[in-house]
Amino acid sequence: MSVTNDPLAEGSDILADEDPGSGLRSRRVRFPGYDTQVGPLGHLADERRRLDALEWQHFDVHRLAATVGAELRGVDLTAQLADPVIEEIRGALVDYKVLFFREQPLTAEEHVRFARRFGDLEVHPFIPSNTGQPELVRFAKSADVGGYENGWHHDVTWRAEPSQGAILHAIEVPRTGGDTLFADAHAAWQGLDDETKATIAELVAVHDYMQAFANQVPPDKVDETRAAYPPVEHPVVCRHPRSGKELLYVNRFFTSHIAGWELDESRALIDRLSRQFDQVEYQCRFQWEPHSVAFWDNRAVQHYAASDYWPDTRVMERASIIGDRPAR
């Protein structure tokens, strides 16, 4: 005969007859005393189902998360791809917001050639380039060069016409760490309460390279650089030019303040909106291998490069495609 000291062994003190999440469905609940909610994010369901139904002719797709991120298989980016393949990749980018490719041993020239199929390319004034290809920004991290991109941001929103997309190629990666995360800017907007959506609908934010790159400008070039790249204004909520979806378009890296608001009030709102991208359910996470490639829609997602590999080496090269001015 077995003996137990467990007072619940016979079920006499079990009070529940259903799962704690029963009845939540798309409803979320808040922990008492905390600004923290749990429960399903029901606003993701329609987009998730839509993406489930998509079919593609020139590649296979393995999705990474509910509404963002897909690995495309069966495409050789080192080749001169036919126009129909490029057009299908362009369409997939709109749908999945960020695309990933494995085992793509691109040369610098091939990287630039592929990127140019989607538009003219930027030259970044504040980050060193691959010396042979000025269109390729080179991120070479080591024990002496730390990773500082570990914050949610859209790239170059300090430009009057920020990049429409970026293509990042892994040259050398650490054995562990150095992943890049991407978050869906439409899901982030959808997840706001109605009052906040109404508050920000017509707001304009000021973006300024000085937020992140002030120390990259030599003292004798400050006036010249400021004249070339003055602060610019973009809507806090813009619309994607192809999908028509509303996108949350502020970030701590480059957004200095809300036009017409006091600085403290501006920063509080920017910080609150930026925290939307912390929601794990809006994200996908990509683990790099040598010669992996990520291609993201710079308006539809924000990204975050995990800086957890120091003092190891991580070398990446990025080509950015010139975009147009964000609009409501």
- 192 SS3 class: coil
Extract the tokens encoding 301.
């997602």
- 179 SS3 class: coil
Residue-level pLDDT at 322:
97
Comparing 19-23, 283-287, 295-299, which segment has the lowest mean pLDDT? Answer: 19-23
Among candidate residues 159, 207, 303, 314, the one labeled active-site is: 303
Cα separation, 277 vs 192, whole angstroms: 11
239 is catalytic: no
Fold of 47-321: Double-stranded beta-helix (3.60.130)
Residue-level pLDDT at 131:
75
Among candidate residues 95, 155, 184, 297, the one labeled active-site is: 155
153 is catalytic: yes
303 is catalytic: yes
Q: Taking 60 as the threshold, does the pLDDT of residue 6 lie above it?
A: no
169 is catalytic: no
Q: Note whether 298 and 154 are within 8 A (CB).
A: yes
Q: Taking 60 as the threshold, does the pLDDT of residue 137 lie above it?
A: yes
Map out the domains of the chain as residue ranges: 47-321
Tens of pLDDT, residue by residue over 87-125, are: 999 999 999 999 999 999 999 999 999 999 999 999 999
Residue-level pLDDT at 5:
57
Q: Provide the H-helix boundaries in the chain.
A: 45-52, 83-96, 108-116, 185-190, 194-200, 210-213, 222-228, 263-274
Among candidate residues 111, 124, 153, 314, the one labeled active-site is: 153
